[in-house]
Chains A and B, each alone.
Chain A
Amino acid sequence: MSLARRIIPCLDTDGTRVVKGVHFEGLRDAGDPVELAMRYNAEGADELVVLDIAAARDNRPTFLETIRRVAEQLAIPLTAGGGIRSLEAARAVVRAGADKITVNTAAVERPELLSELSAEFGAQAVVLAIDAKREGGGWQVRIRGGRQATSLDAAEWARRGVEMGAGEILLTSVDRDGTQSGFDTELTAAISKSVSVPVIASGGAKTPSHFLEVFTRGAADAALAASIFHDQAQSIRSLKEFLRGSGVEVRLPC
């Protein structure tokens, strides 16, 4: 009995459709979130993340409807986020069917949001998303979809976020995101070793070896990817078979 490493497909949506882009820019349509969710559920995804990357304000009804439709089809955990800035907005997302809420910019601007969410839903439901960019010898936290720099160090912010109530860190390398050149294992290991909660690595995945590296050298508890799964360039099942063959414990559904 030991905890399996998780493979998590991510659906970046404009509220209703799945979209994709490089470095958070140049978006194009990549499919229907419900169809993709059903496929990933059947293929053995361990969780699903659905983000509203175009969210300009709280409680966008179209996104809530998307969460509802995806949750209806899913028998695995669902994390939702994008533009959640208040407890009220988080409640709407949970009521729509999300098991976890992910927050990013809003938590940087008002860290108390993490405590409010944790008090209401429990730490296991609060995922702090951190976009980190290499800067000198460390990593700097970026906000607003990676576009805006902050003065925060990523490892310090991760530790602070956990103290405030986050139960998991979703860590995206801004340098690697969309490049398909592999996860930033150095960044992932640095953050994973500095916090007591699970870390989901994100940004740069292409090959099964990239996943193996981030689970071994990167000490990631879970790994997230989007386009390689959407394009069917990589099936989740064959990825997991590769990982198991390489000695990484993963869940292979029957």
Chain B
Amino acid sequence: MKVTLIDYGAGNVPSVERALRRLGAQVETTNRPEKIGAADCLVLPGVGHCAALIAALDSHALREPLITAVGRGAAFLGICLGLQALYESSEEAPALAGLGLLPGRVTRLPENVKLPHMGWNTLKTFRATPLLESVSSDAYFYFAHSFAAPAAGDETVAVSAHGREFAAVLEKGNIRAVQFHPEKSGEAGAQVLRNFLRAAA
């Protein structure tokens, strides 16, 4: 499976690349618009500040090719900020427009819990998805974020909770995304990536 890994300078690009290679994927790490526009299987990683991701996508002119590739059916996986960027906007970067592939707004988790939401948490799954095949229902995944997507969207297949429930696994046609870091989530995370590669093939 050939995977085009979008590299706009995010801190976790190397670890996502290592995790995909361990599973036998052929990974091309790139920030070239023409390669992203022509990709069949795209992974958008991300960690840190949402504004940095959006600004980097725009400064490398990656927004249009990414939307085009997803529009013609390329398999897409967003990780952490790569999930949040799919929405119309984020409270973390109110002046910037998200990719707008999903409706709604990413908001800050409540102040009555410690932020960032950092560490291992479980999921509550609403419907079957290829991404969670062979993953135990009580499996833990590693999260590191302070902002999160709404839990209620049609695309939400699983939520997690920290102060409130939020979308942890999304699926809308060929668009899939996870709020946790599968590349840092031990064997459960590796299974999610394996499932993505299989679904994309």
Contact = CB atoms under 8 A, between A and B. Distances in A.
Interface string A165-186: 0011000000000000000000
A167 B116 contact: yes
Contact of A197 (B12, B115, B183, B185): B115
Contact of A75 (B116, B160, B187): B187
Interface in A78-101: 94-95, 97, 99
Contact of A253 (B143, B159, B187): B187
B94 interface: no
30 contacts: A1-B123, A2-B161, A2-B162, A3-B117, A3-B120, A4-B119, A4-B140, A6-B120, A46-B119, A75-B19, A76-B184, A76-B186, A77-B144, A94-B11, A97-B14, A97-B15, A99-B11, A99-B12, A99-B15, A99-B184, A121-B47, A122-B48, A123-B146, A125-B48, A167-B116, A196-B111, A198-B114, A251-B120, A253-B140, A254-B136
B186 A122 contact: no
A1 B161 contact: yes
The dominant DSSP class at the B interface is mixed
Interface of A: 1-6, 41, 46, 71-72, 75-77, 94-95, 97, 99, 119-125, 167-168, 196-198, 221-222, 251, 253-254
B185 to A, nearest CB: 7
A72 B165 CA distance: 33
The 9 closest A-B pairs by CB, nearest first: A122-B48, A251-B140, A124-B144, A1-B161, A251-B120, A124-B116, A4-B120, A77-B184, A1-B122
Contact of A125 (B19, B47, B114, B121): B47
Contact of B142 (A76, A94, A120, A221): A76
Q: How large is the interface on B (under 10, 10 to 19, 20 to 34, 35 or more residues)?
A: 35 or more
A121 B11 CA distance: 7
**Most central of B115, B119, B122, B145 by chain A CB within 10 Å:** B119
A3 B123 CA distance: 11
A72 B18 contact: yes
B118 A124 contact: yes
Contacts of B2: none
Given A71-B18, A75-B189, A221 B114 contact: yes
Most A CB atoms within 10 A — which of B19, B48, B160, B183? B48
Given A123-B146, A124-B48, A4 B18 contact: no
B184 A196 contact: no
Contacts of A3: 117, 119-121, 143, 162
Contacts of A254: 136, 187
Nearest to B145: A124
A78 to B, nearest CB: 8
B159 A124 contact: no
Contact of A168 (B18, B118, B143, B161): B118
Interface in B152-166: 159-162, 165
Nearest to B116: A124
Contacts of A222: 119
Residue of A72, A97, A99, A197 with highest tally of chain B CB at under 10 A? A99
A4 B160 CA distance: 12
A1 B166 CA distance: 11
B119 A2 contact: no
Q: Which of A5, A6, A71, A76 has the most CB of B within 10 A?
A: A76
Contacts of B160: 1
Given A5-B119, A75-B19, 11 more contacts: A1-B161, A3-B143, A75-B185, A75-B186, A76-B142, A99-B12, A198-B114, A198-B116, A221-B118, A221-B119, A254-B187
A229 to B, nearest CB: 17
A241 to B, nearest CB: 15
Nearest to A197: B114
Given A99-B15, A198-B118, A1 B159 contact: yes
B125 to A, nearest CB: 11
B186 A253 contact: yes
Nearest to A45: B186
